[in-house]
Structure 1
Amino acid sequence: MAKALVTLWVLGALQATAAAQNETGLPLACFYCKSGQSCHTVPQTCSSPQDSCIIVQEHNTLGAENSGTYQSCANSRQSLTGFLAFYFGDKVAVEIRSEICKSGDCSAESTPSRLAISNVRNGLQCPACYAPGSESCESNGNLRCTGGADQCAVVVGTLAQGSVAIPFAGRGCATRAACEIKMLESGVFTYKLTKTQCGPAPRAQTSSATRTLAWGPVTLGSIVPRVPLFLPALLGLILC
């Protein structure tokens, strides 16, 4: 019995070690960097269960135009990849491109680049609004969706930069990959979504009539505390 337990322990240790190795069998090492913070100039060795390098590029226009890149070791089974985008208005958008690889190649030192926000309409539309620092977001009109954003989304959560975090609520067009976000470390902000509801976007109406989503106003309730007095200072810090 004791020998069997030792064997299992050894196998587990070997598997854990292998998870942090690259395709050549050498220890996996990735650059670590987040725009606006100090970055390591030498790749950092990953530890189990991190089995990949990740690079996340972000461009957003949430009050101001921001671009940045995040690089680190990652667990491929828990990492979102591809193109993730929310469009909360004609000039309010979040675009994120995430890529992972089993070597350090995709995590080489890089300069943050601006992701082009698509302005090609795809014939769909969604109710839209964006309310930073608010517990609700009520749409007063429709947004024509663009690019691969074929979902209508209602989201509630917080966005953080450093030690500062504020609540936000939004409605609009989204890509399907964005609807999977629960917590995402990105190039500018860290997103934590406490509520995400998505559904196929309807065809754009030709009349001036507007439509609203069936699940009603976005509310945070007791999820995020109210901070009316401190909120202006928070917004000034995070959106500058």
Structure 2
Amino acid sequence: MTKALVTLCILSALQATAAAQDKMGMPLTCFYCKSGQSCLHNLPQTCSSPQDACIMVQEHNTLSFSPGIGNLGMYQSCADSRQSLTGFLAFYFGDTVMVEILSEICKINNCNAHFVPTRLAISSVRNGLQCPACYAPGFESCESDGTLRCTGGADQCAVVVGTLVQGDVTIPFAARGCATWTACEIKTLESGVFTYNLTSVQCSPAPRAQTSSATRTLAWGPVTVGSIIVPRVPLFLPALLGLFLC
């Protein structure tokens, strides 16, 4: 109990100190790290105006040239809270092509130093919506080659053109698919794996998925056995008939 009180007092003191520094105009400091770099011994960086927050970004994408192979990464740095997207955002350009990002900000010195990755809150359950889909790395346009059933909170159809940047490599890409409405606000985003520079993002509400007439025929239509056509009757009707005959 005593240790808990001491810890609470220390945290309160640190928060009070940080708040006092902010009121005095002292610059904010944030932990900096990007996946692939050794960050264990890095000193906090001093933020510059208009940066007023520390940011933590967790990313999962499958945009590599090998379909289905996932890239995981984290990014921590200073940020301008007025320009930073927070929460969960996602693009789905195919059944195995996706970008999923979780971003958070805080406004106390070095508050992002101990960022613990969490499991991205993704739902793979179809939401009844659909969008045209395609993904074309190396190109500035792509034509839909099929329809993608949207999942989770992805309720927008997006048409995206931009570049993926990693180190000294810049690759143009174009894509269509399902997206969360927060993803439609992206212009430039530094993430754990790539830097996304999107020159065009056009979004519109996703329409309801079409129910195939062939599916309805299979469920309710007649069945041919040899040369005899047998009507298909739902299983619960015989049960009801049995109740009436008893």
Instruction: Give CA-to-partner distance per residue, 1:19-77, whole Å, 9 cap, x none.
Output: xx943425421100110134353322222211100011100011231010110011111
Structure label with greater radius of gyration: 2
Greater relative contact order (CA < 8 Å, ≥ 6 in sequence): 1
Matched, 1:55 2:35: no
Residue in structure 1 matched with residue 45 of structure 2 by the alignment = 44
1:67 and 1:113 in contact (8 A); partners too: no
- Is the aligned partner of 1:207 residue 2:212? yes
| Paired residues of 2:160 and 2:201 also in contact (CA < 8 A) | yes
The farther-off stretch of 133-142 and 92-101 is: 133-142
User: Aligned pair in 2 of structure 1 residues 206, 33: CA closer, same or farther (>3 Å)?
Assistant: same
Identity %: 77
1:179 aligns with 2:184: yes
Alignment-derived partner of residue 96 in structure 1: 101
> Counterpart of 1:115 in structure 2: which amino acid?
L
Indicate the RMSD between aligned Cα atoms, in angstroms.
2.1
Aligned counterparts, 1:103-182, within 5 A: 103-104=108-109, 106-110=111-115, 115=120, 117-182=122-187
1:193 and 2:194 correspond: no
Other-structure match for 2:91: 86
Ranges in structure 1 where 5+ consecutive residues have no aligned partner: 1-20, 210-240
Instruction: Tell me the distance in 1 between the aligned counterparts of 2:138 and 2:109.
Output: 38
Q: Flag the 1:105–1:47 CA change in 2: closer, same or farther, 3 A.
A: closer
TM-score, normalisation: structure 2: 0.71
Amino acid at match of 2:197: K
Aligned to 2:32: 32
Distance 2:43 2:51 in 1: 18
| Pairing partner for 2:19 from 18, 23, 26 | 23
What is the match of residue 212 of structure 1? none
TM-score (norm 1): 0.73
Question: How much has 1:105 moved relative to structure 2?
Answer: 6.0
Amino acid at match of 1:190: T
Partner in structure 2 of residue 3 of structure 1 = none
